Amino acid sequence: MKTIAIVITLFFLGYSYGYEDHVKYEHGYFYVIIDKEKFGSVNSELLQQIENHGWEVIYTMNVDRTTKTNTPYKTHLLCKRDYLREGLETFKLIGVIIPCRIAIFQEKNYVKIAVEDIKEIVKKYNPNPKFYRFITAIEQEMIDILNRTANEFSKKRLIPQY
């Protein structure tokens, strides 16, 4: 019950400080679109938000280099030690769904950042309600990373440029 109260409080505090919900959902993944920004600056902000949330980027797949395309595309593989430890206690096979992944790529004149709806995967492996709530908390944190990254670029557009 205490956790729910904290989440609700943070939700309202976020909106009172100009926090905007940018996340959309489509075909099993959550995403944000950031218009008219350079891929490098969006990726840097994304990495900063990942770090701010206490996650580690354990590996970055340079999809663009692997496929030899000129369009920037990276997939960051993430892990958060505390979540992993807790997940192991509830679900020994958590290794089949880690690491969490965030894809970032350039498309036309915008950058798209996406994370998978991991709750759908968990339903296949372990329908345990306790584990589902645990995974939901992780997914909400990933969604917050998307929102906060997009929000940084929204704030820049609202500040007059001289």
**What is the CATH classification number for the domain harbouring 146?**
3.30.310.70
In a domain, 136, yes or no: yes
In a domain, 162, yes or no: no
For residue range 4-15, list pLDDT tens digits in order.
444 444 444 444
In a domain, 139, yes or no: yes
* pTM assigned to the model: 0.82
% helix, strand, coil for the chain, step of 5: 55, 25, 25
What six digits make up the tokens of 65? 């280099």
Distance (Å, whole) CA 104 – CA 114: 7
In a domain, 12, yes or no: no
In a domain, 7, yes or no: no
Question: What interhelical angle do 81-90 and 129-158 show, nearest 10?
Answer: 160
Domain tally, the chain: 1
In a domain, 84, yes or no: yes
For residue range 38-97, list pLDDT tens digits in order.
999 999 999 999 999 999 999 999 999 999 999 999 999 999 999 899 888 877 878 878
Q: What are the CB-based long-range contacts (under 8 Å, 24+) for 24-27?
A: 25/117
